Homo-oligomer: A and B are copies of this chain.
Amino acid sequence: MLVTPEREHKLRTVLSRRQPDLTVLMEQVNKPHNLSAILRTCDAVGVLEVHAIPPQKGLPVLEEAEAGKIRTYNDTSGSAAKWVGLRVHPDVPSAFAYLKGQGFRIYATRLSEQATDYRAVDYTQPTCILLGAEKWGVSEEAAALADGHIVIPMLGMVQSLNVSVAAAVILFEAQRQRLEAGLYERPRLSPQQYQAVWEAWSDPRRR
């Protein structure tokens, strides 16, 4: 027996709620505590796999990222990284080509003239939230390629939120819409995908 029945039940419950059509693309997010907080949120709303374009120095908690490969993190601060896949892309055009090829609409979190309130987006459709670097946000290059720009209403003096906070506010709105639409009620992965992830998750070396 690879896992206990209780563990199997827990793993299969979570796996049956994973949403292959909801994700984030992190463009040069570079602080480990933000990356860690974003991964915990992604796990909580059922994201199967996240995407990253690493800063030039490499991903903060992942030393040997290889482009095009799905990796899991091994950071010390939490276990979310073990349950959310990571796909690393070398640059903006590659990331967009991959995501658009998978049918995602990509929304940049960016204050611009064409930006709409994040609550107006239909997150039950295949959706990727594009998050920018802590200091300068989403790049011009990525913003120009995005399908839309979204903003979170800011009613105070400060212009922007912490990146992991912005990600969470949007992802929990997506979770709300997907709960309402019943998208967590039955498995969303194809049988092949489900089996592949199950084999990885139930490996006893994974704790």
Binding site for B on A (CB under 8 A): 10-11, 14, 17, 31, 33, 36-37, 40-46, 78-80, 82-84, 119, 152-158, 160-162, 164-165, 168-169, 172, 175-176, 179, 184
Contact = CB atoms under 8 A, between A and B. Distances in A.
A153 B174 CA distance: 12
B184 A172 contact: no
Interface of A, secondary structure class, is helix
Nearest to A201: B157
Nearest to A31: B33
Contacts of A43: 156-158
A37 to B, nearest CB: 4
B157 A79 contact: yes
Contact of A161 (B10, B41, B84, B156): B41
Contacts of A176: 119
Nearest to A11: B157
Contact of A83 (B152, B156, B164, B172): B156
B83 A157 contact: yes
Contact of A165 (B46, B119, B165): B165
